[in-house]
Amino acid sequence: MVESSVFTKVRYNCAMTNTASLLHPTVEEFLQKYALVYKIFSCDPDFADTAPFCEKYGFAEGQTANTIVVAGKALPIKFGACVILAATKVDVNKKACQLLGVKKASFASGDQTKELTGMQIGGVTPFGLPDIPIYIDAKVMSNSEIVLGGGNRSTKVLLDPKELLKMPNVEVIEGLAVPRG
Q: What is the CATH number of the domain that holds 134?
A: 3.90.960.10
Q: Could you tell me which residues come within 8 angstroms of residue 126 by beta carbon, excluding any fewer than 6 positions away?
A: 67, 81, 83, 134, 136, 148, 164, 167, 170
* CA–CA distance, 152 with 179 (Å, rounded to integer): 26
* CA–CA distance, 115 with 120 (Å, rounded to integer): 10
Q: Is residue 130 part of a domain?
A: yes
Q: What is the mean pLDDT of residues 49-59?
A: 93
Q: Is residue 118 part of a domain?
A: yes
Q: Is residue 41 part of a domain?
A: yes
Q: Is residue 119 part of a domain?
A: yes
* pLDDT of 79 above 90: yes
* CA–CA distance, 51 with 65 (Å, rounded to integer): 12
pTM for this structure? Answer: 0.89
Q: Could you tell me which residues come within 8 angstroms of residue 34 by beta carbon, excluding any fewer than 6 positions away?
A: 166, 167, 168
Structural domain count of the chain: 1
Q: Is residue 6 part of a domain?
A: no
The domain containing residue 51 runs over which residues? 16-179
Q: Is residue 129 part of a domain?
A: yes
Q: Is residue 148 part of a domain?
A: yes
* CA–CA distance, 35 with 47 (Å, rounded to integer): 28
* CA–CA distance, 100 with 149 (Å, rounded to integer): 23
Provide φ and ψ at 69, rounded to 5°.
-85, 130
What confidence tens digit (pLDDT) does each residue in 86-98 have?
A: 999 999 999 999 9
Q: Is residue 38 part of a domain?
A: yes
Range name among 32-36, 121-125, 128-132, 157-161 with the lowest pLDDT average? 121-125
Percent of the chain with pLDDT over 90: 82
* CA–CA distance, 125 with 123 (Å, rounded to integer): 6
